[in-house]
Amino acid sequence: MDNYNLLVVEDDMTNSILLKRILIKAGYSVTIANNGIQALNILDKNKFDAVLTDWMMPNLDGIELIKMMRDRLSELPYIIMITALHSDGAMNYALDSGADDYISKPFNVGELLILLKEGILRNNQDIPVKEENKNRIEAIIPPFVGVVIAASTGGPPTLIELFKNLERVNTAAFYIVQHGPAWMLDKFAGTIQNSTNLNVIHGQDDMTSSPGNIYIAPGDLHMKIQKKTMNIILDNGAKENFVRPSADPLFRSAASSFGRYMLAVVLTGLGRDGVIGASIVEQQGGKILVQNPDTAMAPSMPRSVIEAGIPHQLVNISDMPNVLLQSISKINEELKRAK
């Protein structure tokens, strides 16, 4: 084997050491970068045959790194995204962002080495590779506007305040993921109902969703929206972002179901839930509203969307009801013209 040079971008030291050992044993020369910024600095001075990058990293994540590589490098290496995210939506987003291949953790070493060898050879031989149309926005015409909302720590009082001041909306359905145990979410649905003239409903599997309603994900189940039927799907799949329900599965399914005719709202909360989903919503043409972290009890979730570089509108929580109404009205007019 030729002594190909590889760059591994991974912020977890254990994972980077393990991957480096595997690749060196297979005959590759390996350099390690601990984050996307460090990787760019290395790439500015050195040429590599392949880059294997994690997705979730501080300072500059794998998606943004790939986009910047494609903008800055005259000779592109073969790029593999290696991530713990297991979903078709995440994979499609990574590939549309410029990755050549996608592998989810834990990976099969043999499959990785085969993929790496074939990819480097293909890249070096300049064999044309069929690419999907990047930045493609699928022509989806849903029956009504969709609004998906993510909230965690500090979410209950924030959501109550939001819906208490929101006029009745008959042209959009609201889908909420609020992190918390089942007993809390059962009680919380009734509390919201006392604060709004919209109908508040616990999501049930195969339930048909319709405008004028608020659907709340139940405890310990992911809530998704089925394309075309708009039925709600519940599943007990693996936790994402360490939680179930997680906002990312909801956001991804909404992007497939509503396309550009939707809003994704990221409110107060700890962690990064909603970031990947918001990226996919934005890719499909949907609009992202982010609570101003300065008005959030826990600023991590909204701040993570901002730091990820996802196009968004920053909104103080006191202004959120009016911004939601205006945005829904505008999107609904666009939807009526499209039908």
User: Is residue 294 flagged as an active site residue?
Assistant: no
Question: Which residue's structure tokens are 């969703």?
Answer: 209
Are residues 216 and 92 part of one domain? no
* Domain final residue, candidates 75, 90, 124: 124
Give me the residues paired with residue 315 across strands.
Answer: 291
How far is the C-alpha of 121 from the C-alpha of 279, rounded, in Å?
Answer: 31
Residue 139 belongs to a domain: no
What is the per-residue pLDDT for 107? 85
Which residues, other chains included, contact 162 with Cβ-Cβ below 8 Å and sequence gap of 6+? 267, 317, 320, 321, 324
**Predicted pLDDT of residue 127:** 38
**How many domains does one find in the chain?**
2
pLDDT-derived band at 310 (thresholds 50, 70, 90) equals confident
**The pLDDT value given to residue 138:** 57
Which domain CATH number covers 100?
Answer: 3.40.50.2300
Examine the residue annotation and report whether 11 is marked as an active-site residue of this protein.
no
Considering the domain boundaries, does residue 136 fall inside one? no
Co-location of 114 and 167 in the same domain: no
Judgement on whether residues 215 and 91 belong to the same structural domain of the protein: no
Q: Which of 179, 202, 222, 312 is catalytic?
A: 179
DSSP letters for 63-108: HHHHHHHHHH-SSPPEEEEEES---HHHHHHHHHTT-SEEEESSPP
Confidence of residue 294 (pLDDT cuts 50, 70, 90): very high
Range of the domain at 289: 145-338
In this structure, the answer to whether residues 82 and 180 fall within a common structural domain is no
Question: Does residue 62 contact residue 9 with C-beta atoms inside 8 Å?
Answer: yes
Question: Can the peptide bond before residue 302 be classed as cis, meaning omega within 30 degrees of 0?
Answer: no
| CATH, residue 273 | 3.40.50.180
Concerning whether 205 is annotated as a catalytic residue, the answer is no
pLDDT per residue over 16-42, tens digit each?
999 999 999 999 999 999 989 999 999
Cα separation, 28 vs 30, whole angstroms: 6
Out of 63, 95, 124, pick the residue that ends a domain: 124
Of the candidates 256, 11, 187, the residue with the CA atom closest to the CA atom of residue 248: 256
pLDDT of residue 309: 81
Q: Is residue 170 domain-shared with residue 256, that is, in the same domain?
A: yes
Query: In Å, how far from its chain's centre is CA 215?
Result: 20
Residues 105 and 161 in one domain: no
Which tens digit of pLDDT belongs to each residue from 42-85?
998 999 999 999 998 887 889 989 988 988 888 889 999 998 88
Last residue of one domain, picked from the residues 124, 153, 171: 124
* Same domain (yes/no): 202, 308: yes
Q: Is the same domain home to 270 and 166? A: yes
- Whether 116 and 190 map to the same domain: the answer is no
pLDDT tens digits along 88-138: 778 878 888 888 889 988 888 888 898 898 888 877 764 333 334 334 455
Opening angle at CA 332, ends 331 and 335, nearest 5: 90
Residue tagged active-site, from 248, 273, 279, 304:
273
Q: 254 and 222 in contact (C-beta within 8 Å)? A: no
Considering the domain architecture, whether residues 120 and 191 belong to the same structural domain is answered as no
Same domain, 219 and 111: no
Catalytic residue among 87, 152, 209, 304: 152
Global pTM reads: 0.66
